[in-house]
Amino acid sequence: MKATTELDPKAVADLPIDRKAVLGEALRRRILSMDLAPGAVIDEFALCEEFGLSRPPVRELMRQMAAEGYIELEANRAARVSSMSYQSLRSFFLAAPLIYIATTQLAATNATLAEIEELKRIQSLFRRAIEEIDVDKRVLYNDEFHLQIGRMARNAYLMPSLQRLLIDHARLGKIFYRHPTTTDMQEDLQTAALQHDQMISAIESNDPVLAGDIVRAHLELSRRRMADYAAPEGMDVSLTY
């Protein structure tokens, strides 16, 4: 999901844009930023009114977002934001190294110069969000950074898994960043930003081995910090490489 300027839903009807696309963007942002908590009921009627849409396109969007992993649909129940249970978190920490390392190594093999330039642009926005202590943008641009790497990998089998992984990565990151900023946290953010730069350099140099090593260290930094704040007590969040 690409982070964009937030649109006022009340002004959508006056703009020559796709209201369904605007709703989808807004709903994804709300889920990733934790404005809509895991397991929260999604009020279709309220969304129809807010974005000036009838129920059929909203329901179609719900089905699409369910396929992407943002929401859960069950018969005779309202749509809900995807939950974050013990099992889902355990699956996240087990799958993260497999998916991130594979996509980053493939990106180092397949990336074009134009794609690398786009990755650098996203990284500059990520660094600016760190400097401005903007939690929402920091989480969203980190999400976009790794999603861009996934695009560069050009693997139709890995991309859906990466997209699903990034949903919970963003939400875990938002849980972590809710806590007051500390010196240690700022140091970790600077380390994470430096590792992003190193990933870009390895990809630019077509060095998949180095790219994999860097993202492995990057994941360990994230795992250690996120586990301290987000993992249920007693949960094993060790990563297996």
Domains of the chain: residue spans and CATH: 9-81 (1.10.10.10), 86-230 (1.20.120.530)
Mean pLDDT of 110-131: 97
Q: Where are the beta strands (DSSP E) in the chain?
A: 71-72, 80-81
Mean pLDDT of 127-135: 91
For 35-49, b/e burial (b = at least 16 CB within 10 A) is ebebebebebeebbe
Rg (CA), the chain: 18
Mean pLDDT of 28-52: 92
Instruction: Express each pLDDT in 140-156 by its tens digit.
Output: 899 999 999 999 999 99
- The total of other beta-carbon atoms located within 10 Å of residue 26's CB is 19
Whole-number percent of the chain with pLDDT over 70: 82
Instruction: Express each pLDDT in 88-101 by its tens digit.
Output: 788 888 899 999 99
Backbone angles phi, psi at 41, to 5 degrees: -70, 135
pTM, 2 dp: 0.79
Determine contact, residues 70/82, Cβ cutoff 8 Å: yes
- If pLDDT is split at 50, 70 and 90, which confidence band does 232 have? very low
